[in-house]
């Protein structure tokens, strides 16, 4: 825990002195209010928006980015997709890749975000490579690391705000776990990931990414 807090602390210290200050993760009650106010998404409108707003240029016409450092969007949980779009817009994500997204979503309304999330979430998820299960998948009591399935589902399928991991690009998974580990990514509600990510070794991160990823 101490490591996580010191990373967060460092982040705020840097933000205070930097020109582009990063917003903090919203606390759970505020997220609950934010998500309760989410408009109902319309998948048909989402499909039109996806093409019209240039999403396909980076994420591919079918939501499967060629660049494996970037995320697969199809078959992802709509609520999580919606939350991420809000997070990028509010500058709650650090790093150069997040800056790309922040500029893309600047002008999106909440209705448009909900429409995009609805359409992408309903598309089929690509298959995982099915690399063998690493031991860390079941967590480690000694280091207080919970099993991934506790939040991401028995098959990494995710639910609500917990994203699907299965079928995600493995390089993106590894990159993202590293960012949680260093504290560069800290937009997770209630520190769901940050509370333990600093304790994962680089080998464990690689094995987890290979297991869930494609």
Convert residues 93-112 into a mask of x (bound to ligand HEC by CB under 6 A) and - (unbound).
Answer: x-x-xx-xx--x--------
**Does residue number 70 form part of the binding site for ligand HEC (CB under 6 A)?**
yes
**Does residue number 187 form part of the binding site for ligand HEC (CB under 6 A)?**
yes
Contact pick of 7, 73, 79, 123 for ligand HEC (by CB under 6 A): 73
**Does residue number 86 form part of the binding site for ligand HEC (CB under 6 A)?**
no
Residues in the chain: 214
User: How far apart are CB 206 and ligand HEC at their closest, in Å?
Assistant: 11
**Does residue number 64 form part of the binding site for ligand HEC (CB under 6 A)?**
no
User: Measured from the CB atom, is 43 or 104 closer to ligand HEC?
Assistant: 104
The residues binding ligand HEC (CB under 6 A) are 53-55, 57-59, 70-71, 73, 76, 81, 83-85, 93, 95, 97-98, 100-101, 104, 116, 146, 148, 150-152, 161-163, 165, 168, 173, 176-177, 187-189, 192-193, 208
């Amino acid at each position: 825990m101490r490591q996580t807090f010191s990373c967060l602390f460092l982040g705020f210290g840097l933000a205070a002195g930097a020109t582009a200050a990063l917003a903090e993760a919203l606390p759970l009650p505020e997220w609950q209010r934010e998500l309760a106010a989410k408009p109902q998404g319309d998948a048909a409108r989402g499909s039109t928006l996806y093409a019209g707003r240039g999403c396909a240029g980076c994420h591919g016409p079918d939501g499967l980015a060629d660049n494996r450092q970037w995320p697969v969007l199809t078959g992802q949980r709509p609520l999580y997709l919606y939350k991420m779009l809000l997070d990028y817009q509010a500058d709650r994500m650090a790093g150069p890749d997040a800056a790309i997204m922040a500029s893309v979503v600047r002008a999106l309304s909440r209705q448009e975000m909900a429409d995009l999330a609805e359409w992408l979430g309903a598309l089929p998820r690509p298959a995982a490579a099915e690399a063998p299960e690493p031991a860390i998948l079941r967590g480690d009591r000694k280091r207080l690391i919970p099993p991934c399935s506790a939040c991401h589902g028995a098959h990494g399928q995710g639910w609500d705000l917990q994203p699907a991991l299965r079928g995600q690009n493995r390089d993106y998974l590894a990159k993202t776990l590293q960012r949680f580990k260093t504290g560069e990514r800290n937009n997770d509600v209630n520190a769901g990931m940050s509370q333990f990510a600093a304790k994962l070794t680089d080998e464990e991160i690689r094995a987890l990414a290979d297991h869930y990823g494609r």
